[in-house]
Amino acid sequence: MNEQIILVTGGSRGIGRSICLTLAERGCTVLFTYLSSADKALSLIAEIDALNGGRAYGYQCDMSDLKQVQALAARFRKEHGRLSGLVNNAGILGDGKPFLMGNDDNWWNVMRTNVGSVTNTCRIMLPLFIAQRRGRIINMTSISGQKGNAGQSAYSASKSAIVTFSKTLAKEVTRFGISVNCVSPGLIETDMTADVPDEYVASRLTNMPMKRKGNVEEVANLVAYLLCDAPNYMVGQELTIDGGLAIS
């Protein structure tokens, strides 16, 4: 595990932050990106540095900007030389408005940000994985991408697109020793879901087998398993972690 170097995009907050901490606790070297929250990034680095064996490096980068991602990859190659795994977690939720009431520019911004952040990173990092003949990619999706969600048409569409992109990518790169899988969280306690209306949450919890929101540590443990412990034979899958929401 001390040899693992993992890149987590959007790693300074929410699920991404928990993924970084969980990987660092396992002894991985964690490289993470953030868009604007430098204070949160520094706080995360300090917390990981205090762990036994954990190391972290934070990089400011807009993952939806291909040129910025290219520059970031050049830094990685110079500073670290290789990469064991990639977690595409960066993304935005959107304005929460019904489709016909929303702004067209905002709608496409969500699509470009969420899908572009994944495709840009895969396009730039895959040559490194192919040269190594190994690597694991986890793309974060959402239960909204499976079922759709009122007020989140762009977010739902972007997450669904990421799933089909990931399945296609798995067909193309598995032969190079690279696995591609998705993790699809349901209602998770994060700052992104803090503004979700209480009545909506209550309606979803009523029929859920577990009757509660998930926590970020549960999602992070699943991601860490896929990166570090899962068999190589697991490829092209979307693993749902939602307390049974999808079946309710």
d(CA 18, CA 24): 10
d(CA 74, CA 77): 5
CATH class of the domain defined by 5-247: alpha beta
Write down the pLDDT at residue 116: 98
Beta bridge partners of 138: 87, 181
Active site residues: 155
Task: Break the chain into its structural domains and give their ranges.
Answer: 5-247
Question: Alpha carbon 150 to chain centroid distance?
Answer: 22
Write down the pLDDT at residue 183: 98
Run means of pLDDT, 10 residues per run, the chain, 248 residues: 85 97 95 96 95 87 98 94 96 93 96 98 97 97 94 96 98 98 95 73 86 96 97 97 92
Tell me the pTM: 0.95
Write down the pLDDT at residue 214: 94
> Tokens for 56?
């972290």
Which is nearest to 170 in space by CA: 146, 138, 141? Answer: 138
Find out whether 202 and 191 touch, Cβ atoms under 8 Å. Answer: no
Write down the pLDDT at residue 200: 75
d(CA 181, CA 164): 11
Write down the pLDDT at residue 159: 98
Write down the pLDDT at residue 1: 41
